[in-house]
Amino acid sequence: MNFNKNIIGTRSGDTEFESAYVPFISFANDEQKKAIENYIFMQVDEFFQKIYPTGVIRTQLSYSKLITEEDFKDFNKVKISYFYENFFHDLERGSDGKLELKIKWSITFDERCTPIKLANLPQNYRGYEPKLSSKDVKNCLPRKYGIIEINRIPVFYYIYFTLKEILDVAKQIHTS
């Protein structure tokens, strides 16, 4: 049996990604791209509204700059400059002299980067997994996430999306 194995493409040289473990995903047209991005931003807004009800300064880390836990296994691969260039380059001090919390986030399709499941959390929640009551566990939402933190303060959120939910949004473009 001879099969043409041209099922999945590879990234070209002009699509630079920080990690070899982050897939390059594209769609056929701008209409799908806009619908998917709108869906992601709506979901991310809901996510941060639940975690930081009083608001928080947040910016998206480009998907191409995302790294996974697999990248951390080789300490020679992830340089300290990666963190300065992507997480700390825009830190500022508030009027009280303390560093202002500026959260970065990106989507991920890697469930291993997102071990925490979002629940109805107490107002003082700040990014690390609290002990949840059985009521909170029953009220868990499907959005999973992971964090990178410095001194127990989250500086980055991995927000998990499934390829199925992204495809479902793309499919709605043609059925509506």
Q: What is the pLDDT along the chain (176 residues), one digit of tens a residue?
A: 556 666 666 666 556 888 888 888 888 888 988 999 999 999 999 899 888 888 888 999 998 899 888 887 876 777 888 888 888 888 788 899 887 778 999 999 998 888 887 655 555 555 555 555 555 544 455 689 999 887 788 889 999 999 998 888 888 876 55
Query: What radius of gyration, in Å, describes the C-alpha atoms of the chain?
Result: 18
Where do the structural domains in the chain lie, given as residue ranges?
31-175
**157, 146 contact by CB (below 8 A):** yes
pTM comes to 0.76
Contact 121, 136 (CB under 8 A): yes
Comparing C-alpha atoms, which of 44, 35, 43, 47 is closest to residue 169? 35
The number of angstroms, rounded, from the C-alpha of 137 to the middle of its chain's C-alpha atoms is: 22
Alpha helices, DSSP H, located in 15-99: 30-51, 69-72, 80-83
